[in-house]
Amino acid sequence: MNSGLSPEKKRIFVSFLLATSIVVVIFIALIGYISLKGVSEISNILGIIFTLIIALSGVFLLFSTLILVAAMISGKQSRLSMKLRGVVTKLLFPVVLIVAKILKVDKDKIIRSFISVNNELVLDFVKQKGVKKLLILLPHCIQLDNCELKVSSNIMNCKKCGRCDIGDLAKLSEKYNLNIKVATGGTIARRIVKETMPDLIIAVACERDMLSGIQDTYPLPVIGLINERPFGPCINTKVSVAMIEKTLETIRYKEVR
């Protein structure tokens, strides 16, 4: 799959990530300097050790960011950048969002940019590694709100009437023998992931649920597809089934399962 990631879309997240790292490093240096004054009063050796710890944290942070930014710009994943993905996902991204809020930049825009960059890196990684155990995770709001069939227990309960995207997803599931689950909430989604332990998750969700999902399931690789919400949030949402199929083709799912 060509992730369709325009340089501009990439630039939003990469610029915020770089700016945030610099702010955090300056902050660490400031805290370090103030605390160092106090620690040096007690012992000079302690002061030196303390300064080294602070300096190493700052260098590690900057080094991690630079490796990740290089991976994001090139779209090529290395073992090291895959490991460092956690630093961004868990540690830096919450700070990126605070910086975005201060600058009054739309939070969803930053999350979408992050998810696009994440998808590109994950795709590169899984293309090299192959996928044996795939899980496709859908939110319950994809199902038509007045359909009474219980697709959350089994997507094959769908009668494929065509009134919502679950029908086409059920057909896709038959075609590729997919493990597709419909989660009625974050807790259920986490439980499904824990029980399945897949080596790749293709998840459909809104921006905020997707972000918390990627953070919660780290280090499992997640390809995130943002749902469309023509009727507003959490009701009769839609997803591009063609995009999911394209992703399966990109990771050559038919060949590796």
Contacts with ligand SF4, residue ranges (CB under 6 A): 143-144, 147, 149, 151, 158-164, 166-167
The Cβ-side half-sphere exposure at 163, using a 13 Å CA radius, reads: 11
- Whole-angstrom distance, CA of residue 142 vs CA of residue 174: 18
CB nearer to ligand SF4: pick between 52 and 156? 156
CB nearer to ligand SF4: pick between 29 and 241? 241
Contact yes or no for 39/47 (Cβ under 8 A): yes
Residue 234 to residues 13, 34, 140, 145, Cα–Cα distance (Å): 26, 48, 8, 10
Cβ of 70: how many Cβ atoms within 10 Å? 12
Question: Residue 61 contacts by C-beta under 8 Å, 6 or more apart in sequence?
Answer: 21, 24, 25, 28, 87, 92
Question: What are φ and ψ of residue 149, in 5° steps?
Answer: -70, 145
- Residue 12 C-beta: closest distance to ligand SF4, Å: 35
CB nearer to ligand SF4: pick between 148 and 195? 148
Question: Residue 39 contacts by C-beta under 8 Å, 6 or more apart in sequence?
Answer: 46, 47, 50
- Residue 181 C-beta: closest distance to ligand SF4, Å: 14
- Residue 142 C-beta: closest distance to ligand SF4, Å: 8
DSSP label of 163: S
- Residue 144 C-beta: closest distance to ligand SF4, Å: 4
CB nearer to ligand SF4: pick between 105 and 147? 147
DSSP label of 157: G
Question: What are φ and ψ of residue 187, in 5° steps?
Answer: -65, -45
CB nearer to ligand SF4: pick between 96 and 141? 141
- Residue 91 C-beta: closest distance to ligand SF4, Å: 39
- Residue 245 C-beta: closest distance to ligand SF4, Å: 17
CB nearer to ligand SF4: pick between 111 and 158? 158
DSSP label of 18: H
